[in-house]
Structure 1
């Protein structure tokens, strides 16, 4: 018969990391983690229900958003674990804590889909910008992740939003020299 060790039979393991997160850093990274998970869900909801002109392009670009959000949420969660934070990506947590606007459950026209996903992208980027300075003050490595998130999400928002823009009349207006 094989015997197994119970946790009380083993020696205590003690790691001595050079850095451990504060509660404030944990809360900030948890918020961006939740918003990225919700961005993935919002993107899929719209992807499944978009209809209308430019359907195929809109449908495909939503998959780009979903892929980016999934990758970034995983990167943030793994960073959290590396600095001894337990990420919480459960559905109930995401539903309760997300700062993204809700999207419809029924079919959505492509033009409205563009506006909805752009709003979700900007809401997520807004979270990253809001928490950035506090994160950077405590952990520049985590802030570097936020930079990557911001760069891609704001790029996607600009590209997708351009579908509905009217040259030199939409707001915000471009800055000219």
Structure 2
């Protein structure tokens, strides 16, 4: 099979590819974490938090696809395999079992803050090498920050 030729010089492709791969891992793990919380949630605010977690899942899944497709467009193979995500995630994991709504809100708030910080680092890193990738990361970060605000307001 023929490889996709990158529109970027090799050094720019490397920086953008690393930023996209890190973002892909963050977003895949975020979607899994939010779904795990969604399934195991308990508490007085169950319905509101349960539904809000689905918004996080939808955001993360949409972002995953955009990030992976951008990677392929610049000639980088995205790796979203379960083993890769498990081995390379930097996201803290939730406890097993039922999860109280207040603990889920706090955990998701913290998780989003960590992911946003990494996205901001990637935004800075891609400024010169690939403004198109940077633009994509900015758009996803904007939505992550909106969700962070909404979860933070519940604490």
TM-score per shorter chain, which class?
Answer: over 0.9
Could you tell me which runs of 5 or more consecutive residues in structure 2 were left unpaired when the two chains were aligned: none
Could you tell me which runs of 5 or more consecutive residues in structure 1 were left unpaired when the two chains were aligned: 1-6, 8-12, 165-177
Show structure 1 runs of 4+ deviating over 3 A: 13-18
Report the TM-score, using the length of structure 1 for normalisation. Answer: 0.81
More helix by share: 2
1:136 and 2:127 aligned: yes
Higher RCO by CA contacts (8 Å cutoff, separation 6 or greater): 2
Q: What's 2:107 paired with?
A: 116
Q: What does residue range 57-72 of structure 1 map to in structure 2 within 5 Å?
A: 57-72=48-63
Structure whose alpha-carbon radius of gyration is higher: 1
Given that residues 116 and 144 in structure 2 are in contact (C-alpha distance below 8 angstroms), is that contact kept between their aligned partners in structure 1? Answer: yes
Report the TM-score, using the length of structure 2 for normalisation. Answer: 0.92
CA–CA separation in structure 2 for the residues paired with 1:15 and 1:62: 36
Q: What's 1:74 paired with?
A: 65
Report the alpha carbon displacement of residue 16 of structure 1 after superposing the two structures with TM.
5.7
CA–CA separation in structure 2 for the residues paired with 1:69 and 1:14: 27
Given that residues 15 and 129 in structure 2 are in contact (C-alpha distance below 8 angstroms), is that contact kept between their aligned partners in structure 1? Answer: no
Partner of 2:29, secondary structure, is helix
Count of aligned pairs? 153
CA RMSD after TM alignment:
1.7
